[in-house]
Chains A and B, each alone.
Chain A
């Protein structure tokens, strides 16, 4: 890749850091929200791009992270001895046992990544150990998303039901309504994006990353080289789940709400669109994809609410059939065509 392109990340980072002074506070809150989603997208590059595992249930892990932090905020905003409003409306007289530990901030913070990671590891281990792969696996993850969302809606007395959890006031003693809060939150999110990006890049370049790609290309070959491929795939699934959880928690902080409508079948598959558009094999592509698709969604669905689903459907068909490596692949091809003339051929860089 030519030099000027590989240095673009500096520009992107400078712009991201300067954003609070460049754009309106509404736009900043959107950007923060979408950057939180980009963390999930980074996990999908590892899972879908590198390991070739298509999860149609990332919303579940996004939701687990979001609900973990939301439950904490809900509990700390209550006066001593009171229950969240929706529990009182449903006639509950005591906090369910599994809500109790979320009052502890450390537990809630750990749960944001640990809960999705554990659920993801357990679920994927059960399926991968029996060598259920490909389409079958994707269909099962979709069923998981459906179950999760319908459970959240129907167990209204303990989950807040269709409306989800909202109306948060403080986080770790900080007032969420204070003027500095959105900017602080934005930088925290940006920091996590950078961390997730660097961590994923390190993993992809490591022996583990090589093994994941090898498993994607020929799982049998890898198995017959003496590797048990199941744990590698489970780890990839758990990492992607943890990143989804982190993204979900940050999203919840930005949006001030987490609800079943954000975690079910349709949002889960929409998460795949971000990465498909940006480029499933490229970390920066996934981040860009999450931002582009979500800003486009925001623009189009507020201008022409009817049109968004047509656009989304068309984007899906076109990207998958014509541009399977997404925008990142397109950029690389365009840049590469010029670069190939100068450098020696066949030095294809992944």
Chain B
């Protein structure tokens, strides 16, 4: 499989290939020889019980956690060993589980920081904001419904608004691949379905990998589902197939039934 990956061409439909990743935390294998691929502009939902290694997988893709073995390929380039900011500059951005907005910056400044294309430090001085970046920020403000909160400090936003702001920031980076870790955590049903719509509107332009527990939300999103269990790949399929899969049900120990009820 390695050789085939290395020879990837631009025509390659996959934006992301995770190839045999193993992550070892002092002898505990948080991820155990896990592989998956994701096509450009597509949606993938990653589910699995607590401790299945979903967040660790995200951490590994963006370089926060380093794999003991295996590789991550982005658009045919091996990004396994790059520093985090280089990985982001190659086109991956991640939303964290707890909202990672910057509390003492305004909503607009949060987005402007994310939208900036030129992230080399020596160009970081000065006051001027690039016109196209400003337009981009305005678009995103509209998309996440925070136009009238633009000058509010992000720390003063409600929890759901913070989540949207962070999704907006991730989008604003222009990354081709977005990793959204529990984007609906702490949201009510209305907010959740708004979030699902928001994510669906991103597809095509961005490939999106979503981690979530909430099966209703996963259903609303549609798209292919990958199931992880104990750091390993378990199943992959449509929401319907996964829902009816006996192995998946066994892994969740009846949890999915309880959630359906």
Contact = CB atoms under 8 A, between A and B. Distances in A.
Interface of A: 203, 205-208, 210-211, 213-214, 216-218, 220-229, 231-232, 235, 346-348, 350
Contact of A223 (B84, B104, B116, B122): B84
A348 B107 CA distance: 13
Contacts of A216: 104
Contacts of A224: 62, 64, 84-85, 88, 93-94, 96, 100
Q: Which of B64, B112, B119 has the most CB of A within 10 A?
A: B119
Interface string B153-191: 100100000000000010001000000000000000000
A216 B104 CA distance: 9
Interface residues of B, number: 35
A228 B93 contact: no
B101 A207 contact: no
Contact of A225 (B64, B125, B173): B173
B255 interface: no
A214 B102 contact: yes
Given A217-B103, A347-B151, A223 B124 contact: no
A228 B103 contact: no
Per DSSP, chain B at the interface is loop
A226 B85 contact: yes
Interface in B125-147: 125-127, 129
B89 interface: yes
Interface of B: 62, 64, 83-85, 88-89, 93-94, 96, 100-105, 109, 112-114, 116, 119, 121-122, 124-127, 129, 151-153, 156, 169, 173
Contacts of B129: 207
A220 B121 contact: no
A346 B173 CA distance: 28
B119 A218 contact: no
Contacts, number: 89
A346 B148 CA distance: 12
A225 B86 CA distance: 10
A282 B227 CA distance: 51
Closest 4 pairs (CB-CB, A-B) = A226-B88, A231-B121, A221-B100, A214-B102
A72 to B, nearest CB: 31
B103 A225 contact: no
Interface centre among A222, A226, A235 (most CB of B within 10 A): A226
A119 to B, nearest CB: 20
B88, B114, B124, B156: residue with the most chain A Cβ atoms closer than 10 Å: B124
Given A205-B127, A208-B124, 5 more contacts: A207-B127, A224-B96, A225-B119, A227-B121, A231-B121
B134 to A, nearest CB: 13
Contacts of A210: 105, 109, 112-113
Contact of B85 (A211, A227, A347): A227
Instruction: With a 10 A CB-CB cut-off, give which of B100, B121, B169 has the most chain A CB atoms.
Output: B121
A213 B105 contact: yes
A347 B88 CA distance: 33
A220 B119 contact: no
Contacts of B119: 225-228
A232 B121 contact: yes
Contacts of A222: 102, 113
- Highest count of chain B CB atoms <10 Å: which of A211, A218, A221: A221
Contact of B125 (A206, A217, A228, A348): A206
A205 B114 CA distance: 18
